[in-house]
């Protein structure tokens, strides 16, 4: 990046107009949404089912089916964020977790990334939602969740990807 | 949405501060990036290999491995966009295509969506890149591409997802 003009700095994102130099030396001006990064978690119950959430998303003007997820707070490592979001959004405690992968949401206009995990969870309790969150909890089998991906009932990229990554590891344990 | 204040309207995105009402009646203010939508394509050569691209992405400050993709133009249907992007970005002609699915990139802050396709391509020719594009072409097998996903060498969400959707359809033809 050669130059950057900040258009807006808000609660969850920053919008810049940035000047970049391509590998061929040409200079281009780009609209870039800078974002602190996030985590998304496939939460695994002791009976083998998965917890998904139905959440009101303003960007979608309605409810969206998702894995629990959240933005990294300043100085927070992804694993801390996983434990915090599982407690806040679905009211469980994380017993153990493993990484599924990393995704970049929309490289055409943003550096937003999301660390994907699977986590064994226990001790169901109360959610502690933020004032701008509205979340319902669903419990279903991996097969049911994958069926919703195949039927286009789940269209959230992090949820599709984390479920497919998790299923892929179940089928191909030698890849662990 | 109850109210919207436009912060910025640019070439590829619009940033609004919007007031929304949650299902419980609470009103919240949200930073939303509105985007026209896009397509991404797994391009299939006659010898069975896949074409991927390495592209300079300002948001990532470097080269990113991706499927060919692009933003929908005003009034353009996804299938037209697929044929156009395949011609522009890799210089091939689309013989046939089928849908793989739809993803929403980042429902936490944007309505951006991407229609995923697989397309048989033919007649290699010249790319016709836009002034702000820098793209190198890679040809590899599906197994090689999936290996790059598993190793974390491909982190672009649309590319990870379209490759996994395509592979899933190959393995489970009864789901077609």
B130 and B45 assigned to the same domain = yes
Residue holding tokens 């594009």? B133
B136 and B89 assigned to the same domain = yes
pLDDT, position A172: 57
pLDDT, position A49: 97
Encode pLDDT of A79-108 as tens digits: 999 999 999 999 999 999 999 999 999 999
Phi, psi of B109 (to 5 degrees): -145, 0
A104 and A57 assigned to the same domain = yes
Q: What is the mean pLDDT of residues A57-79?
A: 97
B156 secondary structure, DSSP code = B
Cβ of A36: how many Cβ atoms within 10 Å?
A: 15
| Total domains in the fold of chain A | 2
pLDDT, position B16: 98
B7 and B68 assigned to the same domain = no
A79 and A100 assigned to the same domain = yes
pTM more than 0.90: yes
Q: Which residues on chain A are in Cβ contact (under 8 Å) with B61?
A: 1, 20
B15 and B85 assigned to the same domain = no
A98 and A132 assigned to the same domain = yes
In this predicted complex, what is the ipTM?
Answer: 0.95
Q: What is the mean pLDDT of residues A24-50?
A: 97
Residues whose CB is less than 8 angstroms from the CB of residue A143 and which lie 6 or more positions away in sequence, other chains included: none
Residue holding tokens 């030396």? A25
Q: Which residues on chain B are in Cβ contact (under 8 Å) with A62?
A: none
Cα separation, A130 vs B150, in Å, equals 35
Would you say residue B27 lies in a domain? yes
Q: Which two tokens stand for residue B144?
A: 């090689």
Would you say residue B76 lies in a domain? yes
pLDDT, position A1: 79
Would you say residue B10 lies in a domain? yes
Smallest Cβ–Cβ distance between B23 and the set A11, A56, A161 belongs to A56
Q: What angle do CA A55, A59, A63 make, to 5 degrees?
A: 25
Q: What is the mean pLDDT of residues A170-174?
A: 60
A19 and A45 assigned to the same domain = no
Which of A63, A105, A142, A169 best tests the B interface by mutation, with the highest count of B CBs <10 A?
A: A105
pLDDT over 70 percentage in chain B: 97
pLDDT exceeds cutoff 70 at B88: yes
pLDDT exceeds cutoff 80 at A174: no
A28 and A47 assigned to the same domain = no
- d(CA B78, nearest CA chain A) in Å: 17
A102 and A21 assigned to the same domain = no
Would you say residue B107 lies in a domain? no
Q: Which residues on chain B are in Cβ contact (under 8 Å) with A132?
A: 22, 26, 28-30
| CATH classification of the domain holding A136 | 3.90.79.10
Would you say residue B111 lies in a domain? no
- d(CA A110, nearest CA chain B) in Å: 5
pLDDT, position B171: 67
Cβ of A137: how many Cβ atoms within 10 Å?
A: 16
Nearest chain B residue to A99 by CA: give it. Answer: B152
A14 and A60 assigned to the same domain = no
Nearest chain A residue to B103 by CA: give it. Answer: A155
Cα separation, A42 vs B158, in Å, equals 19
B26 secondary structure, DSSP code = -
pLDDT over 70 percentage in chain A: 97
A113 and A55 assigned to the same domain = yes
pLDDT band at B176 (very low <50, low <70, confident <90, very high): very low
Question: Do B59 and A107 form a contact (C-beta atoms < 8 A)?
Answer: yes
SS (H, E, C) chain A: CCEEEEEEECCCCEEEEEEEECCCCCEEEEEEEECCCEEEEEEECCCCCEEEEEEEEHHHCEEEEECCEEECCCCCCHHHHHHHHHHHHHCCEEEEEEEEEEEECCCCCECCEEEEEEEEEECCCCCCCCCCCCEEEEEECHHHHHHHHHCCCCCEHHHHHHHHHHHHHHHCHHHC
Would you say residue B114 lies in a domain? no
B137 secondary structure, DSSP code = E
Encode pLDDT of A110-153 as tens digits: 999 999 999 999 999 999 998 888 999 999 999 999 999 999 99
Cα separation, A100 vs A70, in Å, equals 16
Give the end-to-end CA distance of chain A in Å, rounded to a whole number.
Answer: 37
Instruction: Tell which residue, B118, B98, B147, has the closest CA to residue B42.
Output: B118
Domain that holds residue A154: 36-175
Encode pLDDT of B21-75 as tens digits: 999 999 999 999 999 999 999 999 999 999 999 999 999 999 999 999 999 999 9
């Amino acid at each position: 990046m050669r130059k950057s003009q900040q258009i807006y700095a808000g609660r969850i994102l920053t919008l810049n107009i940035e000047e970049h130099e391509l590998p061929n030396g040409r200079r281009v001006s780009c609209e870039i949404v800078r974002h602190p990064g996030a985590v998304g978690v496939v939460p695994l119950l002791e009976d083998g089912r998965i917890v998904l959430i139905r959440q009101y998303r303003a960007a979608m003007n309605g409810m969206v089916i998702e894995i629990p997820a959240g933005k990294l707070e300043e100085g927070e490592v992804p694993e801390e964020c996983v434990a915090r979001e599982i407690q806040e959004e679905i009211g469980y405690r994380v017993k153990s977790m493993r990484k599924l992968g990393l995704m970049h949401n929309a490289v055409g206009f943003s550096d937003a990334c999301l660390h994907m995990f699977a986590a064994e969870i226990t001790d169901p309790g109360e959610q502690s939602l933020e004032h701008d969150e509205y979340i319902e909890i669903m419990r279903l089998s991996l097969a049911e969740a994958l069926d919703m991906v195949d039927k286009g009932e789940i269209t959230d990229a992090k949820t599709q990807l984390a479920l497919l990554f998790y299923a892929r590891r179940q089928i191909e344990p030698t890849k662990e």
